[in-house]
Amino acid sequence: MNVEITKTLKKLELSLSNSDLTHNDLCKSYEISIRLRSQFLGLIYEKEMFNSTGGLRIADTLATGKADEEMVMLIINEPLPSLKEMTAAIQEHWLELIHTAIKKSAEDKKLPYFKKAFVWIEISTPVGSNNKKLWDTSNRAINLVINNLKGIFFEDDNYEHMAFGVVGKWAEKDATTVRIMDFDKVYQSIFPDSP
């Protein structure tokens, strides 16, 4: 096993070994587990990029997409990480997930391009995930998603070319669903009497 992963696992084991865990002990353990996740993703990325045998990549199992002329839907079977969790390995992992979902959505149809797009990001987390500290929707890595949609579905991420919404919800499984639609159609459906 990777030396850094082994060290992190030992730190996690040590931090959880106390039978009288305090809130601070659990917070420390959580931070170590985030580091561990990042190290695992770095190892997976390294293996996929440099020891590639042409097999299935992790992104192929976690990301999918579909499109029609009205909407593109990207589905990633992980919750969008918080900014606090964003390491280089997690960012690289999510870039791969987003681009894989886009590629899969373009398999059957030409992807729509919107003069002004509305991007709806829905983040699902299993019930009981006690991550209140990180679960502010504005603290999620929203820019990572939006910056990787511009130029593909809309010209730029300024107010003339896109708007977005983010919602979190409890669900049975982790997921992030990104829907890209025509802004004017969405706006008219919400505010039908608007000029």
Question: For residue 94, what are the contacts with CB-CB under 8 A and spacing of at least 6?
Answer: 76, 80, 81, 141, 144
pLDDT at 153: 97
DSSP 46-93: HHHHHS--S---HHHHHEEEEE-SSEEEEEESSPPPBGGG--HHHHHH
Between residues 98 and 109, which one has the greater pLDDT?
A: 98
Using the predicted structure, report yes or no on whether residue 53 has a pLDDT greater than 60: no
Using the predicted structure, report yes or no on whether residue 133 has a pLDDT greater than 50: no
Most confident of 35-39, 79-83, 155-159: 155-159
Using the predicted structure, report yes or no on whether residue 101 has a pLDDT greater than 70: yes
Task: Flag the least confident range among 70-79, 96-105, 132-141.
Answer: 132-141
SS3 of residue 125 by DSSP? strand
Q: What is the DSSP letter of 140?
A: B
Q: Percentage of the chain with pLDDT > 90? A: 43
| Domains contained in the chain, CATH given | 3-50 (no CATH), 58-190 (3.30.1330)
**Token pair for residue 180?**
């890209």
Using the predicted structure, report yes or no on whether residue 27 has a pLDDT greater than 60: yes
Q: Estimate the crossing angle of helix 23-50 against helix 88-105, to 10 degrees.
A: 60
pLDDT at 12: 66
d(CA 123, CA 65): 16
Task: Flag the least confident range among 15-19, 91-95, 181-185.
Answer: 15-19
